[in-house]
């Protein structure tokens, strides 16, 4: 499985999806990432806290927090979702590492301003991951190339 690292955004459950044929309501942020990660012709297993943990059950949430280390350690990769806005690095960056030049310093600065970096769990999710890919809309870049 892959693990998702993202910002919840507004807690309003405004988007309807189907999970195993059952209706389920999710936040706009989760809906956007699901639309981007979905593979219409194949199966993809993604661990998303909003879907895998019963958010209404405080005991379950507390127990799951203790398992987060294992979730991110055992995932084949961690997907960092920076949102739907256009990626500051553009689509070509999936092919090359960022270099420390004026243009890429500007890109890195824009990425670091993303609300994702304000989350407490970011360090754990990055350090424990086997592989990290940062996604912004349709664009992505691996952590190694970042």
What is the model's pTM?
A: 0.81
Res 18 pLDDT > 70: yes
Domain boundaries, given as residue ranges, for the chain: 2-145
Look at residue 84 in the predicted model and tell me its pLDDT.
85
Tell me what percent of the residues of the chain surpass a pLDDT of 90. 43
d(C-alpha 132, C-alpha 50), whole Å: 20
Tell me what percent of the residues of the chain surpass a pLDDT of 70. 85
Q: What is the pLDDT of residues 69-109, one digit of tens each?
A: 999 999 999 999 998 875 565 554 443 555 555 556 777 77
The residue-averaged pLDDT of 43-56 equals 92
Look at residue 86 in the predicted model and tell me its pLDDT.
56
Look at residue 142 in the predicted model and tell me its pLDDT.
84
Query: What are the CA-CA distances from residue 142 to residues 22, 38, 139 (Å)?
Result: 34, 19, 11
Look at residue 99 in the predicted model and tell me its pLDDT.
53
117 phi/psi in degrees, rounded to 5: -70, -10
Alpha helices in 2-135 (DSSP H): 28-37, 49-52, 58-74, 102-112, 122-128
Contact (Cβ atoms closer than 8 angstroms) between residue 112 and residue 134? no
Res 112 pLDDT > 90: no
Q: Determine whether 66 is exposed, middle or buried from the number of CB atoms within 10 Å of its CB (0-12, 13-18, 19+).
A: exposed
The residue-averaged pLDDT of 1-28 equals 91
């Amino acid at each position: 499985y892959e693990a998702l690292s993202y910002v919840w955004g507004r807690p309003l459950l405004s988007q309807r999806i189907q999970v195993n044929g059952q209706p389920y309501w999710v936040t706009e942020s989760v809906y956007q990432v699901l639309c981007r990660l979905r593979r219409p012709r194949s199966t993809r297993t993604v661990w998303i806290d909003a879907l895998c943990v019963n958010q209404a059950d405080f005991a379950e949430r507390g127990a799951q927090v203790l398992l987060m280390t294992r979730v991110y350690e055992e995932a084949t990769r961690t997907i960092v979702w920076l949102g739907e806005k256009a990626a500051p690095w553009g689509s070509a960056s999936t092919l090359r590492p960022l270099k420390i030049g004026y243009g890429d310093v500007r890109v890195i600065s824009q990425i670091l301003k993303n609300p994702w970096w304000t989350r407490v769990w970011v360090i754990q999710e990055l350090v424990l991951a086997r592989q990290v890919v940062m996604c912004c809309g349709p664009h992505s870049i691996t952590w190694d190339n970042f």
